[in-house]
Amino acid sequence: MKKVFKITGITLLTILLLLIAIPFAFQSKIKEIVKRTINQNINAHVEFSDVNLSFLKRFPQAQVDVTDLIITNFAPFKNETLATAKSISLDMSIKELFKKPSEDPIVVNEIYLEEALITLKTNKKGETNFDIFKDSEDNPETAQNSSKGFTLDVKDYAIDNSAITYLDESTNLTFYITELNHSGKGTFSGDLSELDTKTSARMSLKIDSTEYLSNNNIKLEALIGLDLPNNKYSFKENKAHINQLPLEFQGYVQLLEDGQEIDITFENSGSDFKDFLAIIPETYSKNLDQVETSGNFKIKGIIKGIITDETIPTLNINMTSNNAAFKYPDLPKSVEDISINASVINTTGKTDDTYIDLQTLNFKIDQDVFKSSAAIKNLTSNINVEANIDGVLNLANLSKAYPIDFKTDLTGILITKLATNFDMDAIENNAYQRIKSNGNLNIKGFKYTSEDLVNPIEISEATIAFNPGTIKLNKFNASTGKSDINANGTINNLLAFIFSDKKLQGDFNVNSNAFYLSDFIKESSSNNPEEQKTNTSEIFKIPDFLDCTIQANAKTVVYDNLNLENVQGTLIIKDQQASLKNMTTDIFNGKLAVIGNISTQKETPTFNINLGAANFDISTAFKDLELLQALAPIAKVLEGKLNSTISLNGNLDDQFTPDLETVSGEAFAELLTTNIQTENSKILNSISNTLKFIDLNKLDLKDLKTNVTFKDGLVNIEPFTIKYQDIHIRINGTHGFNKNINYNIVFDVPATYLGNDINRLIGKINDPKVNKTSIPVTANITGSFNNPTIKTDLSSAVKELTKQLIEIEKQKLLNQGSNAIKDFLEGISEESNNTNQDTTAIKNDTIKTNNTINNSIKDILGGLLSGKKNKKDSIQ
């Protein structure tokens, strides 16, 4: 007995080892079969990380696992991914692995697909990315070996946690299936058989900008009859759920050579109005278990006909409800007197003849009754809409009767009576004569709050009148924070804005008693200046849907710390850009004109503005306006009037004020009447202390004109000249917005201002030309406005002037001495000719006279050339 157990154990162990070892021997063969089958049948690039064979996982069956499958398209969808799969498992008999390629095809019994992502596309030319199977007629090798690949004798299959996307660019259709789990049991080997399937998924369908299904939960249990020779698939005992709406359907789908034949009928199994709420995605309808309903609801339909490139099945789908009501247990209000009668109809099989007929959609909340009807035709081409709306809605009651998750609470009364008829072509092409609307819409007591708004917007009343071709805003009274807005005007394309991607066009008149920019711009949540610069998520953006012209008139506009009075002008908003034209305002006791634009097209807002200032009060303007302080910090000590033109551009920060580090441009200024308060400026005080001969308080700056240019935070002052008494002062240089300075000031100083010794020399010379002599004294100012450093060349200039005056005096005295000697000698000569005095006496007299002359010359030259030194000049 022990020997038997031993032999049995050794045998089982040997079999187990063989089951483990044999797959390694067949691994290359399996890879070869997979690659050969792919190359023979697929016209695409296919990759997989590995192919594994196991005899143990599904014993006595063999299991082949293909992992990390990727299928990539060739042109015209080159390098686009068609499908990926985490794994594909194929179960088959072990004997199938020993078949030669020339023998019968390999039979696969079970297939399992896990985490597959499939993207199907049809481009505008009608080309598809999923037509990747090779045509056997065009490929002799494929035709010869088509029966030598895989075949299916499926008994069980499953698709787990997968997704399918279909994108049709020609019809602008998008179809998504996510969270797909599908399984089936049956066989495909017989001519007639059945397949038992279960499916669950979420489905979304969007055509153009209309979403027909939005992540709807779909469940299907279907017993499908298979008639393979005739390609006919019949639905038996089928139950489906769309969200929580139960449907039963029957019929068949048959594949034809040039299309498909469909004959399906369906209807909801019950008739409770709760079935209607179940159509709405659960995200919005919430839990329906405790909802109280009354009234009926019925949906039924027939889809019958042939699908080809030219036709679709006829449709007759109808949804009705009468005298229905519902109430959610946690909400205070109920919706009552609900009547619905809606149909989707096509009687010809032509796509363009499909239409939606909403004969009735009525309901009541409290005492507010809302009635509507509509007919929508030409769904696939030029959609035509004819609608009537007549009703009253208390917006606050919407969230009290239905679990709508508004981001904010709505309040206000909406009253409308409107009839409209239009087609999409007319909207797209602004053919207003084909847009026929008549009626009125009135909103009262509307209040809207949002995290994106600084303050709630409150519309006390708004009235819109609909006329054929135009829509008039007759009244719009609103407020937010401390700001009020009153407007009227004309809206050119409201329907185009609502139903398509057109911009809202119009012309408006806007008036305001007080408009605070801070009511519309949120402050950054960060206290870090660097984070504020980079945090653009809260920066105000001009809405990109606006294309309008606004005539503005505001008594007071408060911008940062500025109060602008009597603001008037034209504002043109388009493409996220606001253009200002003929904008004027009273500010700084003067007048300001503005022309330019502000743009929020890029991540960082920009501006390009021309300013014209007339009769500005200088001290007020340069105290309150940071930009002017940066351009001319010294001007804060001036008192008087200013005319100026400034052209500038740059970036705006998150408070919509100029970022000075990015500002560049040029400015021209003309001072009208000014007084100077030097005690308010460290620079002027330093100059006065250094140069005693000038009193800057007495400067005359009237009619001064100067130009500056600025870029990258640096202001360049072009040379200009001012006058102090008989001193001309030339100024130029640069300073930064950071208050660093580098100025050069040249004073043309008359010599008489440079001390007593200089004046004595000038007095001795007594020459009118010398009396008017002046020298340039240069002062270089560096450092900053609050801590200036002043260097002058005054000492060297005075020394040089002193040398020049001494030289002039020497020349003058020399000239005076030479003339005296000449006159004296001429006198002696004349006397010797006219007298007969004794020769000795004459000789003695001549010697005496010559000594006197020599002494006089010596005294003169000695005074100039002796080694005497005067006291050092004092400078005042």
What is the pLDDT, as a whole number, of residue 379? 80
pLDDT at site 53: 72
Of 273-277, 562-566, 870-874, the one with minimum mean pLDDT is: 870-874
Residue 274 counted as domain residue:
no
Domain count, the chain: 3
Domain boundary among 199, 230, 261: 230
The C-alpha atoms of residue 698 and residue 677 are separated, in whole angstroms, by 10
Residue 852, pLDDT score: 37
Question: How far apart are the C-alpha atoms of 618 and 675, rounded to whole Å?
Answer: 10
How many Cβ atoms sit within 10 Å of the Cβ of residue 100? 7
Is the pLDDT assigned to residue 482 strictly greater than 60? yes
Collapsing DSSP to helix, strand or coil, 779 comes out as: strand
pLDDT tens-digit series, residues 293-325:
898 889 999 999 988 878 889 999 999 998 899
pLDDT above 70 (res 191): yes
The model's confidence at residue 855, banded by pLDDT at 50, 70 and 90, is very low
DSSP class per residue in 163-191: EEEEEETTTTEEEEEEEEEEEEEE-SSSS
Q: How far apart are CA 299 and CA 276, in angstroms?
A: 9
Give the predicted TM-score (pTM) of the model. Answer: 0.60
pLDDT at residue number 499: 67
Q: Which residues pair with 666 in a beta bridge?
A: 647, 709
pLDDT for res 39: 66
**Are the beta carbons of 357 and 373 closer than 8 angstroms?**
no
Name the residue with higher pLDDT: 135 or 297.
297
Q: What is the pLDDT of residue 691?
A: 78
710 and 581 together in one domain = yes
Query: Residue 677: pLDDT band by 50, 70, 90 thresholds?
Result: low
- What digits encode the pLDDT tens for the residues 156-166? 889 999 999 98
Measured CA to CA, the distance from residue 91 to residue 154 in angstroms comes to: 10
Residue 500's SS3 state is: coil
- Give mean pLDDT, residues 220-228: 86
Higher pLDDT, 301 or 520: 301
Instruction: State the average pLDDT over residues 825-851.
Output: 40
Query: Is there a contact between 555 and 514 (Cβ–Cβ < 8 Å)?
Result: yes
Claim to verify: residue 567 and residue 682 sit in the same structural domain: yes
Q: Is 175 in the same domain as 50?
A: yes
Average of per-residue pLDDT across 518-525: 68
State how far the Cα of 598 lies from the Cα of 650, in Å rounded to an integer: 10
Q: Does residue 420 belong to any structural domain of this protein? A: no
Residue 190: pLDDT over 80: no
Q: Which of 45-59, 310-324, 661-675 has the lowest mean pLDDT?
A: 45-59
Reading the block at residue 274, the tokens are 């709760």
> Do residue 795 and residue 654 come from a single domain?
no
Q: Is 159 exposed, middle or buried (0-12, 13-18, 19+ CB in 10 A)?
A: buried
Alpha-carbon distance of 162 to 181, in angstroms, equals 7
State the pLDDT at residue 205. Answer: 82
C-alpha distances out from residue 399 to 154, 335, 393, 404, Å: 52, 11, 12, 5
The answer to whether residue 20 is domain-embedded is no
Which one of 678, 693, 718 terminates a domain? Answer: 718
In a domain, 539, yes or no: no
779 and 690 Cβ atoms separated by less than 8 Å: yes
Question: How far is residue 344's CA from residue 569's CA, in Å, rounded to a whole number?
Answer: 52
Q: 584 pLDDT exceeds 80?
A: yes
Element (H, E) at 480: strand 470-480
With residues binned 3-state (H G I as helix, E B as strand, rest as coil), the percentages for the chain, rounded to 5, are 25, 50, 25
Per the DSSP assignment, residues forming a β-bridge with 742 are 734, 782
- Return d(Cα 434, Cα 426) in angstroms, integer: 6
**pLDDT at 325 (0 to 100):** 94
CA dist., res. 229 & res. 839, Å (int): 173
101-124: pLDDT as tens digits: 555 666 777 888 899 898 988 888
Q: Is beta strand 245-256 parallel, antiparallel or unpaired with respect to 259-268? A: antiparallel
The lowest-confidence range among 32-36, 245-249, 377-381 is 32-36
Residue 343 in any domain: the answer is: no
Greater model confidence, 615 or 126: 615
Least confident of 9-13, 529-533, 546-550, 826-830: 9-13
The verdict on 784 and 713 lying in the same domain is no
pLDDT at 34: 66
| Pair 813, 709 in one domain | no
Return d(Cα 205, Cα 706) in angstroms, integer.
Answer: 68
Higher pLDDT, 629 or 573: 573
What tokens does 497 get? 């804005």
Residue 667 lies in a domain: yes
**Mean pLDDT of the region 815-844:** 45
Q: Residue 636: its pLDDT value, please?
A: 65
Indicate the residue type of 480. T
Residue 752 to residue 380: CA distance in whole angstroms: 98
User: Residue 626 and residue 611: Cα distance in Å, rounded?
Assistant: 15
pLDDT for residue 416 is more than 90: yes
User: What pLDDT shows up at residue 661?
Assistant: 82
| Judgement on whether residues 185 and 62 belong to the same structural domain of the protein | yes
49 and 128 co-located in one domain: yes
The pLDDT-based confidence of 479 (bands split at 50, 70, 90) is very high
Report pLDDT for 189: 61
CA dist 384 → 93, 238, 345, 469, 792 (Å): 60, 36, 15, 16, 85
For residue 546, pLDDT beyond 70: yes
Is residue 685 scored above 70 in pLDDT? yes
174, 199, 230: which is the final residue of a domain? 230
Say whether pLDDT at 767 is over 60. Answer: yes
- Could you tell me whether strands 504-512 and 546-559 are parallel, antiparallel, or unpaired per DSSP bridges? parallel
Q: Is the pLDDT of residue 593 over 50?
A: yes
Residue 686, pLDDT above cutoff 70: yes
Q: Is the pLDDT of residue 851 over 60?
A: no
690 and 791 share one domain: no
Confidence of residue 567 (pLDDT cuts 50, 70, 90): very high
616: β partners: 642
- How many Å apart are CA 507 and CA 472, to the nearest integer? 10
Please tell me whether residues 65 and 205 are part of one structural domain: yes
679-690 burial code (b ≥16 CB/10 A, e <16): eebebbebbbee
Residues 676 and 782 in one domain: no
- Spatial separation of the C-alpha atoms in residues 745 and 717, rounded to whole Å: 12
Omega prior to 60 cis, within 30 of 0: yes
Percent of the chain with pLDDT over 90: 19
Q: Is the pLDDT of residue 244 over 90?
A: no
The CA radius of gyration of the chain, in Å to the nearest whole number, is 50
Q: Which of 329-343, 539-553, 629-643, 832-846 has the highest mean pLDDT?
A: 329-343
Residue 282, pLDDT > 70, answer: no
Shared domain check, 678 and 572: yes
Q: 460 in a domain, yes or no?
A: no
Report residue 475's pLDDT band, with 50, 70 and 90 as the boundaries: very high
Largest Cα span, the chain:
191
- pLDDT band (50, 70, 90) for residue 374: very high
Q: Which domain holds residue 790?
A: 774-865
Q: Domain for residue 323, yes or no?
A: no
Please report the pLDDT score of residue 316 as a whole number: 94
The larger pLDDT score, comparing residue 684 to residue 97, is at 684
Structural tokens at position 79? 């390098």
Average pLDDT, the chain: 77
